[in-house]
Structure 1
């Protein structure tokens, strides 16, 4: 049954962009490049609708076919939380949402989702504030990190596979199925994002896609934590995204910049300024994510000494990633392009 579910998700996420692209173009859901943009041609955004539809169909099919038999309520809550985040992202793509309204809605999604998960899993309400903040934060993190082609598709695929393994090791079938659906949906979109733009213009997930990605990952992480899954399993695949966002925020605050203003000073963006292609930068992020994720799984299952060694190695990977733009720039003997400007590319 799971094979059928994943096949449907792959087909839908891989074919729907062809249907949605002309519709979104007619509705004016377009990123128009300017002097501050990272892309050179107008781009259809909002193509995360395809992955959203594929995930909804896949999750419902998993419930209907019995691919998920235990903790079905948790599966439904994860899906609804991801959909709520996607709705907000679509509103941002189509009409625009004020910063205050966006933040308030993200917190509302977080508190309602975490409350529902705590009730479904029989956990204390003391976890609700932490879950609320974690969900709202990661929705934003996924959005902030969605600035170059391929990065979000690879993140969805990578985290999905790690979470599927975590579900298997923890005996949480709902997590395995949900994570594989996420991985399949974002993997099927990658060819459109990476190659589809060569002939007819680039295709971006938009906020609907990045919010969907962040919301579903955060929902699975919160549910997994409340269900007793090792925190190392859940946190390690997210460390690079979290470190990039936190490091960039600290740098901007120390430089006296308006930390809340749009910019493109993330590590992955500085890698493109240092000369890497979008795919090259996304590959660096993904490779580091895989390395830290594997080390997290080793830390969770190893002895005290093994866990400590894995933690030290993970810190080294994160540190290496954070300084990588500076290292590459120095080795190439070139000055980075100074581009403290709003993002213009959405993967």
Structure 2
């Protein structure tokens, strides 16, 4: 039990302290390099905001993960932890390149493919799993890096997502005695929690930028692939991601069906449309991640249930996801009714 507490507390403490302090060192650099996000018609912010603080948070999480490995908190499956950490760092470096100078979309996709392939092939070799899972792992890494980037559009949403998913993954690691997942989840959760004060201060906030959203997506995807290939229940892996996946998937589908250029910047995600009908940034972010946490709890609690009970829990999860997706339409109708 004491070892379990140390395995969670050490990476959490390191990530928390560094997550709070490193932004003080990085923010002057953002000013010097003039990394400013100017508002456009598709933006959710209305004033220029410095981006790129994800560099500090990515470093905080990566350092916490690395120090935990050096301290011997992970004695089994260290190779998995190293591969997952390398994939997250590579994803964050790609995002920083996009923040700093810009990276052509083809080059971005190529690097994401290489990261996904290297991580999945490395995990396959270490774990001795079937090579037929490699394409799925590559797609998962590419997809979730972009999902987190698409969903990083209002203040607080990515910080809360990192905290929520990291917490669920740390619990999954604890429940299955998978220490690399405990360490990675704890570092991710507290590191991104530490970013929130920098992101939601009115008039003084900064953005993660692509460095932070790419690192977040890469870390989550690499941990998810590693957990899946390690035999951890898919319910642990997917449940905290379902709201993000549903929002992104339905938004892209709508845009394709309307004949829009789906890859262009836009403001048609469900979480963005909520802010059009009265939700603040923080309220939208809390709803997305609060529902994600509820979905995760229901799914995990239902694991030992009999088939009929499990199906009932699944139905509740589908209802919650459906409610989230239709909420902007309900708010729009209410606004029109009272106009």
Matched, 1:268 2:275: no
1:67-115 CA distance string (max 9 Å, x none):
1111111111110000010011001101111111111111111011100
TM-score normalised to structure 1 length? 0.93
Structure 1 residue aligned with 2:99: 93
Q: Match of 1:83, SS? A: helix
Structure 1 residue aligned with 2:116: 110
Give the C-alpha shift of residue 313 in structure 1: 0.5
- Pick the aligned partner of 2:138 from 119, 123, 132: 132
Distance 1:180 1:35 in 2: 37
Instruction: Please say if residues 137 and 225 of structure 2, whose CA atoms lie closer than 8 Å, have aligned partners that are also in contact.
Output: yes
Q: Match of 2:231, SS? A: coil
Give the C-alpha shift of residue 182 in structure 1: 0.3
Instruction: Please say if residues 42 and 265 of structure 2, whose CA atoms lie closer than 8 Å, have aligned partners that are also in contact.
Output: no
Distance 1:278 1:334 in 2: 24
Give the C-alpha shift of residue 335 in structure 1: 9.7
Q: How many residues align?
A: 333
Q: Match of 1:300, SS? A: coil
Distance 1:186 1:259 in 2: 29
1:289-325 CA distance string (max 9 Å, x none):
0121112212322211121011101100110000011
The change in CA–CA distance for 1:36 and 1:128 in structure 2 (over 3 A counts) is: closer
- Pick the aligned partner of 2:61 from 51, 55, 67: 55
Q: Match of 1:240, SS? A: helix
1:40-66 CA distance string (max 9 Å, x none):
222111100111111121011111112
Give the C-alpha shift of residue 5 in structure 1: 3.0
Q: Over aligned residues, Cα RMSD in angstroms?
A: 1.5
Distance 1:171 1:295 in 2: 21
Instruction: Please say if residues 274 and 335 of structure 1, whose CA atoms lie closer than 8 Å, have aligned partners that are also in contact.
Output: no
TM-score normalised to structure 2 length? 0.95
For structure 2, list consecutive stretches of 5 or more residues without a partner in the other structure. 1-5
- Pick the aligned partner of 2:257 from 210, 234, 254: 254
Instruction: Please say if residues 233 and 300 of structure 1, whose CA atoms lie closer than 8 Å, have aligned partners that are also in contact.
Output: no
For structure 1, list consecutive stretches of 5 or more residues without a partner in the other structure. 337-347
Q: Match of 1:128, SS? A: helix
